[in-house]
Structure 1
Amino acid sequence: MSKVKYYYDSETLSYRKIEKRKGRTLKYISVFLLGSALFGFLTVFITSQYLESPKEKALKRELANMQLQYELLNRKMDEAQLVLEDIANRDNNIYRLYFEANPIPDEQRKAGFGGVNRYKYLEGFDNSKLIIESSKRLDILQKQIVVQSKSLDEIAKLAEEKEKLLAAIPAIQPVRNEDLTRMASGYGMRNDPFTKIRKMHWGMDFTAPRGTPVYASGDGVVTRADSNSSGYGKHIRIDHGYGYVSLYAHLYKYNVRKNQKVKRGDLIGFVGSSGRSEAPHLHYEIFKDEQRINPINFYYGSLSPQEFNELLEKATLENQSLD
Structure 2
Amino acid sequence: MENKKYSYNPTTTSLKPLKPSKGKMFRNIAAFLIVTAFFGMISGFVFSKKVNSPEENTIAVELEEMRIQYELLNKKLKQSQEVLGQIEDRDNNIYRSYFELDPISEDVRKAGFGGVNRYAKFTDWKYADIVTEVSKNIDVLNKQLVIQSKSLDDIVISAKEKEKMLSHLPAIQPVANKDLTRLASGFGMRMHPILKIGKMHAGTDFAAHVGTPIYATGDGKVSMAERQGGYGNVVKINHGYGYETLYAHMSKFKVRSGQSVKRGDVIGYVGNTGLSTGPHLHYEIHKDGTEIDPVSYFYQDISPDEFKILFDKSQQMSVSLD
| TM-score (ref. length: structure 2) | 0.85
> 1:319: Cα distance to partner?
2.1
Give the aligned residue type for 1:78. Answer: K
> 1:230: Cα distance to partner?
2.3
Q: What does 1:211-230 align with in structure 2 at a 5 Å threshold?
A: 211-227=211-227, 229-230=228-229
Deviations 1:42-86 (A, max 9, x none): 66534x2xx432111211121122112211211221121011101
SS at match of 1:80: helix
In structure 1, the partner of 2:152 is 152
| TM-score (ref. length: structure 1) | 0.84
Give the aligned residue type for 1:164. Answer: K
In structure 2, the partner of 1:58 is 58
TM-aligned CA distance change 1:10 to 1:296, over 3 Å = closer
SS at match of 2:125: coil
* In structure 1, C-alpha distance between the alignment counterparts of 2:110 and 2:3, rounded to whole Å: 97
SS at match of 2:231: coil
In structure 2, the partner of 1:260 is 259
> 1:253: Cα distance to partner?
1.3
* In structure 2, C-alpha distance between the alignment counterparts of 1:80 and 1:10, rounded to whole Å: 89
* In structure 1, C-alpha distance between the alignment counterparts of 2:224 and 2:43, rounded to whole Å: 108
Deviations 1:247-306 (A, max 9, x none): 111111122222222111111111111122221100000000011111111001211112
Of 45, 48, 53, the match for 1:45: 48
In structure 2, the partner of 1:314 is 313
SS at match of 2:75: helix
Q: What is the root-mean-square deviation of aligned Cα atoms in Å?
A: 2.2
SS at match of 1:275: coil
TM-aligned CA distance change 1:10 to 1:172, over 3 Å = closer
Q: What does 1:194-205 align with in structure 2 at a 5 Å threshold?
A: 194-205=194-205
* In structure 2, C-alpha distance between the alignment counterparts of 1:60 and 1:232, rounded to whole Å: 94
* In structure 1, C-alpha distance between the alignment counterparts of 2:117 and 2:204, rounded to whole Å: 70
Give the aligned residue type for 1:45. Answer: S
> 1:206: Cα distance to partner?
0.2
Counting aligned pairs with the same residue, the percent is 51
* In structure 1, C-alpha distance between the alignment counterparts of 2:2 and 2:209, rounded to whole Å: 154
Is this contact kept in 1: 2:184–2:317, CA < 8 A? no
* In structure 2, C-alpha distance between the alignment counterparts of 1:316 and 1:82, rounded to whole Å: 55
* In structure 1, C-alpha distance between the alignment counterparts of 2:4 and 2:68, rounded to whole Å: 76
Is this contact kept in 2: 1:237–1:248, CA < 8 A? yes
Give the aligned residue type for 1:298. Answer: Y
Is this contact kept in 2: 1:248–1:282, CA < 8 A? yes
Give the aligned residue type for 2:220. Answer: G
Q: Does 1:109 align with 2:112?
A: no
> 1:166: Cα distance to partner?
1.3
Q: What does 1:181-200 align with in structure 2 at a 5 Å threshold?
A: 181-200=181-200
Q: Structure 1 residues 202-211 or 304-313, which shifts more? A: 304-313
Is this contact kept in 2: 1:251–1:270, CA < 8 A? yes
TM-aligned CA distance change 1:262 to 1:8, over 3 Å = closer
